[in-house]
Amino acid sequence: MTSEGLKKLSKICEKRDCGKLKKWLSSIKNHIYWTAASSTSAPERVAKWPSILNHIQDVHKHDNPAFPRCLHSQRRASNKSKWLTAEGPAFCRLKKVMTNEKVLKDVEKLSPHEQSSSLEAFHSELLRFATRNTAFPFLGTLCRLYLPALHFNENSGRPPAVAASGDLLYRIHFPKSKKSKCTAELVQVALTYNYVDKLMELIFEKIFWDSTPYVEELLKIPVSDDDSAQFAKPDKLEVISSYVSRLNQGLV
């Protein structure tokens, strides 16, 4: 399910007659990851995905032969009021969202291995080196893409930090997605910048003394023309004469 689908569920939970669904929202989010991680094919994912509609009704056997029953052990719930009923408005709205054709297509494509968090972290590094508020020339942009790649590759796999006692270190984190709810987060060892030392060594021990080979390689990089180069440059006076200020336009 996309973030858009989760936003729809969050809005449904805010409705007066759907408050009970709010207790299941975290389980539904976990069900998305479990469906992807525990499945080996698209049909299996599609079979497991709607099983939670039965589960939240305290029904743990399903009609789909690809996933006939829940895998958890059978246990008697101490709080029976948490279960939803098929006739209730909360369940009807939830079913409509979860069985939407677009959502089912997204479920088919869920990856059991890859997550977007690493890619999002890399994009965050890109914005630190190449902010969108500033226009850089082609080669400047290229260099500002290489630097975050070097930084990310060196630090993305950092091990967790360990205290003197040998215990893992944690910190309290308040992610925006959880809306003021906190979670525990592993502390990683400090960032390293060894790639800077290697770059400095390359510059002062090789390029500085004989830059010819590196300049030749630099000149081989194809630099694309500006987007404006594909258009014929108009006469400036004609453009000025045809310009009408937004404030001077007549009323329609």
Q: Model confidence over 216-241: pLDDT tens digits?
A: 988 898 887 777 777 888 888 888 88
More confident residue, 129 or 249: 129
Q: What pLDDT sits at residue 1?
A: 59
More confident residue, 4 or 39: 39
Give the mean model confidence (pLDDT) for residues 156-170: 89
Q: How many CA atoms lie within 13 A of 8 on its CB side?
A: 14
Look at 46-60, 89-103, 104-118 and tell me which has the smallest mean pLDDT. Answer: 104-118
Q: What pLDDT sits at residue 193?
A: 94
Give the DSSP H or E segment for 199.
helix 194-202
Q: Model confidence over 75-99: pLDDT tens digits?
A: 776 677 788 888 888 888 888 888 8
What SS3 class is residue 132? coil
Q: What pLDDT sits at residue 201?
A: 92
Cβ atoms of 16 and 65 closer than 8 Å: no
Give the mean model confidence (pLDDT) for residues 144-156: 93
Strand blocks (E) in 134-196: 170-173, 183-186
Per-residue pLDDT band at 58 (split at 50, 70, 90): confident
Q: What is the rounded end-to-end Cα distance, in angstroms, of the chain?
A: 46
Q: What percentage of residues in the chain have a pLDDT greater than 90?
A: 17
Task: Measure the CA–CA gap between 194 and 154, rounded to whole angstroms.
Answer: 8
Instruction: Specify the length of the chain in residues.
Output: 252
DSSP state string for 67-128: S-B-SSPP---S-GGG---TTSHHHHHHHHHHT-HHHHHHHHT--SS--SHHHHHHHHHHHH
Give the mean model confidence (pLDDT) for residues 153-178: 86
The answer, as to whether pTM is greater than 0.85, is no
